[in-house]
A and B are shown apart, each in its own frame.
Chain A
Amino acid sequence: MGAVSLENIVKRFGSFTAVERTSLTIPEGTLTTLLGPSGCGKTTTLRMIAGLLDPTEGNIVIGGRSVNDVPIHKRNLGLVFQNYALFPHKTVADNVGFGLRYRNVNRAEIARRVQEALELVQLPHVADRFPKALSGGQQQRIALARAIVIEPDVLLLDEPLSALDANLREDMRVELKRIQERIGVTTVFVTHDQSEALAMSDQIVVMSNGRVEQVGAPEEVYNTPASEFVAKFLGASNILDGRCLSRGPDGAELDVPVFGKVIVPTAKAPHLAGEGAAKLVVRAEKLLLRDSPPEGGAFSAPASVETVDYQGQSVRYFVRSGETQLQAINMIDERPFPVGAQVHLTLRPQDCAALPG
Chain B
Amino acid sequence: MGWNLIRVYAVLVYLFMFLPVAVVVLLSFNASQFGAFPMAGFSLRWFVALWENDAVMRAFRTSLALGFLCAIISTTLGVLASLALVRYRIPGRNLLTTVLIAPILVPEVVMAVALLLFLNFVGIGRSFIMLLAGHVIFTLPFVILVVQARLVGIRRDVEEAALSLGASPRQTFFAVTLPLLMPAVAAGALFAFTISFDNITGTLFWKPGGVETVPTQIFAMLRHSISPEINALGTVMIVLTVGLPLLGAALARRLAMKSGVSEPR
Tell whether A pairs with B: yes
Q: Which residues of A contact B (CB under 8 A)?
A: 50, 52, 72-79, 81, 83, 85-89, 98-99, 102-103, 130-133, 143, 146-147, 150
Q: Knowing A79-B160, A83-B155, say if A133 contacts B166 (CB, 8 Å).
A: no
Which of B161, B166, B175 contacts A85, CB < 8 Å? B161
Which of B155, B161, B260 contacts A89, CB < 8 Å? B260
Determine if B165 and A83 form an interchain contact, defined as CB atoms under 8 angstroms apart: no
How far, in Å, is A109 (CB) from chain B's closest CB? Answer: 15
How far, in Å, is B165 (CB) from chain A's closest CB? Answer: 3
- Give residues 155-176 of B contacting A (CB, 8 Å): 155, 157-158, 160-169, 171-172, 175-176
Determine if A52 and B160 form an interchain contact, defined as CB atoms under 8 angstroms apart: yes
The verdict on B262 contacting chain A, using a C-beta distance below 8 Å, is: yes
5 example contacts (A-B, Cβ-Cβ < 8 A) are as follows: A72-B160, A81-B160, A83-B157, A130-B260, A132-B260
How far, in Å, is B265 (CB) from chain A's closest CB? Answer: 13
Q: Contacts of B166 on A, CB cut-off 8 Å? A: 73-74, 76, 99, 102-103, 150
How far, in Å, is B172 (CB) from chain A's closest CB? Answer: 8
Determine if B171 and A85 form an interchain contact, defined as CB atoms under 8 angstroms apart: no
A86 to B160, CA, bound (A): 11
Determine if A87 and B164 form an interchain contact, defined as CB atoms under 8 angstroms apart: no
The verdict on B261 contacting chain A, using a C-beta distance below 8 Å, is: yes
The verdict on B180 contacting chain A, using a C-beta distance below 8 Å, is: yes
Q: Is the interface of B mostly helix, strand, loop or mixed?
A: helix
Determine if A73 and B180 form an interchain contact, defined as CB atoms under 8 angstroms apart: no
The verdict on B259 contacting chain A, using a C-beta distance below 8 Å, is: yes
Determine if A150 and B165 form an interchain contact, defined as CB atoms under 8 angstroms apart: yes
Q: Contacts of B261 on A, CB cut-off 8 Å? A: 88-89
A79 to B167, CA, bound (A): 13
- Give residues 179-223 of B contacting A (CB, 8 Å): 179-180
Determine if B260 and A88 form an interchain contact, defined as CB atoms under 8 angstroms apart: yes
How far, in Å, is A8 (CB) from chain B's closest CB? Answer: 25
Determine if A78 and B259 form an interchain contact, defined as CB atoms under 8 angstroms apart: no
A132 to B260, CA, bound (A): 7
Most buried by B among A88, A102, A130, A146: A88
Which of B163, B176, B259 contacts A73, CB < 8 Å? B163
Q: Knowing A87-B176, A133-B260, say if A73 contacts B157 (CB, 8 Å).
A: no
Determine if B262 and A88 form an interchain contact, defined as CB atoms under 8 angstroms apart: yes
Determine if A88 and B165 form an interchain contact, defined as CB atoms under 8 angstroms apart: no
